[in-house]
Amino acid sequence: MATAASPFAGSTREPRYTKVAIWLHWLIGLAVIANIGLAMLTEGMPRDVHRAAMGVHKALGIAILALTMVRIVWRLLHKPPPLPESISRWQRSLSRIVHFLFYALLLMLPLSGWVWMSAADRPIDVFGLFTVPSIAAPDKALAELMHERHELLGLTMLALVVIHIAAALKHQFVDRSGIPARMNPF
């Protein structure tokens, strides 16, 4: 059993995130990776293939936004498990910064796409279930600006995903810290 001085003393298992937090993490993470792939890998494909992929990309972006809002509410109501004491101060600080950036990008990226599509007067159909209402009046200059911002945010997200995966692999195979097990759905 853990002592007050050390939440991991005498324990062979690290505290874990809740099942809801774990599943939201993996659903959002896989959706983000799929969306980055859809945007980047279909760029040079025939117009009809690219257009179909972008329809899925937009719908998935709205789903990511909704799941992120659920995750933020869940996170506010359920404290995440503490990091092991073996994690250095600089890694703890970097972890907080990366998590903040993820949440910011998980909101800003789909919102920028939504504003872009609204300003371009292109409705977003969510998997044939409903059409998302516009949040900006048609405006060609705004559409072009948001297109640029959306792509920049997407590249930033890609870099952050790569850093996150590299850090998880380092913690698992180099440090053997057990941190990745906290998010293992199985």
Model confidence over 36-70: pLDDT tens digits?
Answer: 999 999 999 999 999 999 999 999 999 999 999 99
The verdict on residue 7 lying in a domain is no
Structural domain of 103: 19-183
Q: Is the pLDDT of residue 178 over 70?
A: yes
The verdict on residue 8 lying in a domain is no
The verdict on residue 112 lying in a domain is yes
The terminus-to-terminus CA distance of the chain in angstroms comes to 23
The verdict on residue 93 lying in a domain is yes
The verdict on residue 66 lying in a domain is yes
The verdict on residue 2 lying in a domain is no
Residue 108 φ/ψ, nearest 5 degrees: -70, -35
Quote the CA–CA distance of 81 and 16 in Å, as a whole number. Answer: 6
Return the bridge partners of 125, or none: 131
Q: Is the pLDDT of residue 12 over 80?
A: no
If one counts the domains in the chain, the total is 1
Question: Which CATH number do you get for residue 97?
Answer: 1.20.950
Q: What percent of the chain has pLDDT over 90?
A: 87
The verdict on residue 67 lying in a domain is yes
Tens of pLDDT, residues 69-96: 999 999 999 999 999 888 999 999 999 9
pTM of this prediction exceeds 0.95: no
C-alpha pair distances (Å), 21 with each of 3, 12, 61, 117, 167: 25, 22, 19, 30, 19
The pLDDT of residue 141 is 98
Q: Is the pLDDT of residue 3 over 60?
A: no
The verdict on residue 11 lying in a domain is no
The pLDDT of residue 72 is 98
